[in-house]
Every structure is written in structure tokens, then in C-alpha cells.
Amino acid sequence: MARQPLFDDLEIGEIALQLDDQEPEDVIAWALDTFDEDRIAIVTALQADGMVILDMAYRMKPNIRVMTVDTGRLPQATYTFYDQVRERYPEARFEVLFPDYREVEEMVRRHGINLFYKSVPLRLLCCHVRKVRPLIRALGQLDAWFTGLRRDQWASRAAIRKVEIDHDHDGVIKINPLADWTKEDVWAYIEEFDVPTHPLYAEGYTSIGCAPCTRPIQPGEDDRAGRWWWETNAPKECGIHCPIETGGFEHEMEAIVGHGSPENGPVH
């Protein structure tokens, strides 16, 4: 079913202003009341912020849709934790998104299995094939999605609103209930409500992604330093939440999609 826009930019801007000083639970409740339950989902990598969103939403609507992307390169600890989360929230409708195997095969054939270490554009290409493309396909079936983004996480996220039109993903409504929370707020909620947490946090990880691209941080480093630590002056983003305009991987992506899976159409 094609997405029918429910709001224009002016309307969603007014709603964002109204919700900006509201608690996360109020923002979640607004979204659950506004969108059909089959057209809204939590998208999470099962990190602390996303787990808080899941816990809050589950208390209001246990059958909430929950989507997570399996890139094929995740740590084993993430798969184990996923099963624990399913047991904790048994009524939630969990969905695992996978990359198109033909796109992965073509990318690896062209650039090797560990292409992300070679250059920033190739790392972004890998993120796009394994993570962004599967999400784009899933978002095409939604009217709104929840994220655990916070303004204090990274400079590229400093201006996010609690509710906004995601023009990078065909106008789907993006809901960021924790936008004005701090890391301390997140962990205080987790402790108060005994929310399950990824086991790698106990090993010094502060941002958890693919196994080859994530490490524990060192003393004095910021929380995103464990992502793609070999890169210099590069964005600590994969392209899901913040568009990254490098020009370095667009031609490669077009070639991969055109060669590997033409039915998917153009890359957005």
C-alpha cells in the first residue's frame, strides 16, 4: 500500500513545537494514537536508547512492530541479545531486515569482504548495502518510525526534532522521543525499569554496530569514538539518520544495484 502523506511540513513543524517540551512517553502516545498500528514501527539496533523506546512503547501497545537490521556482520553477542529481547517482550511483532544477497555479492566481488577498511567511500558503500538499503525497503511500507536518536549524541544530530518529516526516506514521519534526553537520562530509565541491555556495554562498548567496525572506547574518548575508529575527519554515521554526501560511492551503488538486482529500482 502506498504511503499517503498525513502532514505537510508546516503541520508537522507545529506538532513538533507542541511536543518539544513533552516527555518521551507523551510523544510515543501521540504517535501510537495517530498512526495505524501496522504502519508504524520501532527501528532499533537494540542499543540502550532503542531499548528505552521499546520498553516505553510496549507498555502502551504490546503488539508494537519492532524492526532491526541484520547486516550479516553483527557480533554474536547481538544475536544472543536479540533472543533475550524477544523473550522479554513476547507480544511485540519483531521483524529482522536483511540486505539483498545479490547486492552484497556484487559489492564483495568488486571490493573484497573487508572493503570498509580501504576508504571512507567504500565504508559508506558497505553501510549502504548492508544497512541503509534494507531499511529503505522497510520504510516504504510505513507511515512513521521511532528512533532512539538524541541531540547530544553527535554534531550531525544536534538539530533533530521529536517529530519530523523524513525527506531522505520519501516523507515518512520520523519520531525521536528521546531527542532532548541525555545519556544519563537513558541509563536512569534503564535502571529504574530493569530494561535489558546489550552485553557488550559491560565490555566498554558505547555504540554497537557491526563486529569489524565497532570497538570499546578508550579513556577520555567520546561515545561514538568506537565506530570506524581508523577513519580521520569522517562522519560517524552510516547514512540511515543523516544523509552523507561524499559522491564517492554513488556510482558504485548504482552499478551494484543495476547489475545485482534491477527490480529494486533506483537508489534514493
Among residues 253, 249, 241, which one has the least CA distance to residue 174? 241
Q: Rounded to the nearest 5°, which phi and psi values hold at 41?
A: -150, 155
Distance CA 226, CA 238 (A): 13
The residue annotated as part of the active site, out of 45, 64, 107, 238, is 238
Helix (H) or strand (E) holding 173: strand 172-175
Q: Which residues are annotated as a binding site for [4Fe-4S] cluster?
A: 126-127, 210, 213
Which residues face 144 on adjacent strands? 40, 173
Query: Which residues belong to the annotated binding site?
Result: 126-127, 210, 213
The beta strand positions in 47-162, using DSSP E, are: 65-69, 93-97, 144-146
242 is catalytic: no
The answer to whether the beta carbons of residues 248 and 124 sit under 8 Å apart is: yes
Please report, for the chain, how many H helices and E strands are present, in that order.
9, 6
- Give the CA distances from residue 67 to residues 136, 142, 145, in Å, rounded to whole numbers and listed in that order: 12, 11, 10
Which residues are catalytically annotated?
A: 238
